[in-house]
Amino acid sequence: MIEHLKFHHLGVATRSIEKSASVYSKLGYTLSEVKTEPSQNVKIAFLSKDGDPLIELVEPLTGDSPVSQIVKHSGTTPYHTCYEVDDINKALDKLEDMNFRPLFEPLISEVMEHGYFCYLFSAEIGLFELYERKK
């Protein structure tokens, strides 16, 4: 078991943060500032609503962004879950023991308070993001 694993957000790939956020705002969500995450070649914004989990809207900046193929084939769709951990490296070790495959080493996020993030893949649950808040 991974200690202190806490759900952080649901990631939604979209062709347009502006258009998706417009619909979510009618459902009572508030949009954060839109920022660029250079390491992933995407724009990101968070949607919040009291009592509900965060939703992360992810828009590709170019055709070689990791998200561009998702929106090309599926349109706007949920595509990952993110969990916050106290120690990303310890969590990675435990998840690898559970047959999760890391897609890259932890990177510093330009968007999420300059904490660390990385993605893993599990054949049983799909794309899984880990996030460690900056200490």
Per-residue pLDDT of the chain (135 residues; tens, 9 = 90+): 787 899 999 999 999 999 999 999 999 999 999 999 998 999 999 999 999 999 999 999 999 998 999 999 999 999 999 999 999 999 999 999 999 999 999 999 988 888 999 999 999 999 999 999 987
pLDDT recorded at residue 111: 85
3-state SS string for 81-133: EEEECCCHHHHHHHHHHCCCEECCCCEECCCCCCCEEEEEEECCCEEEEEEEC
pLDDT recorded at residue 114: 82
Contact between 2 and 91 under an 8 Å Cβ cutoff? The reply is yes
CATH superfamily of 6-132: 2,3-Dihydroxybiphenyl 1,2-Dioxygenase, domain 1 (3.10.180.10)
Contact between 121 and 103 under an 8 Å Cβ cutoff? The reply is yes
Enter the tokens of residue 12: 């939604």
Model pTM?
0.93
pLDDT recorded at residue 1: 76
